[in-house]
């Protein structure tokens, strides 16, 4: 995120929350638009994030909910990686035979 200016966004959020959320929504839409092959997934993920934040009640609880979402996704990625490694090893074994130590 080379062009992201945290201090600018922080200042905007503190001084003009309405402008912050408008700018945030515009930046998110632009990001999603730059990835048309994943636009539907990204828009769905953003709706899920926004809904979780709205339902959480407090910023701290929202952070906990979002961290739980990230944790679940990382676990799923880890499971998929392990499955891919098993399948790769089985394919390698089928093609070239067992590994010699």
What's the pTM?
Answer: 0.68
What local confidence, expressed as pLDDT, does residue 70 receive? 95
Mean pLDDT, consecutive 10-residue stretches, the chain (101 aa), reads 85 96 95 95 94 93 95 96 96 81 58
Q: Which residue has the tokens 């910023």?
A: 59
């Amino acid at each position: 995120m080379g062009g992201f200016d945290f201090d600018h966004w922080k200042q905007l959020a503190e001084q003009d929350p309405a402008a912050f959320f408008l700018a945030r929504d515009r930046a998110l839409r632009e990001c999603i638009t730059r990835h048309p092959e994943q636009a539907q997934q990204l828009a769905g993920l953003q709706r899920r994030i926004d809904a979780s934040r709205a339902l959480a009640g407090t910023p701290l609880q929202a952070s906990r909910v979002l961290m739980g979402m990230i944790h679940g996704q990382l676990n799923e990625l880890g499971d998929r990686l392990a499955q891919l490694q098993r399948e790769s090893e089985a394919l390698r074994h089928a093609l070239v035979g067992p590994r010699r130590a």
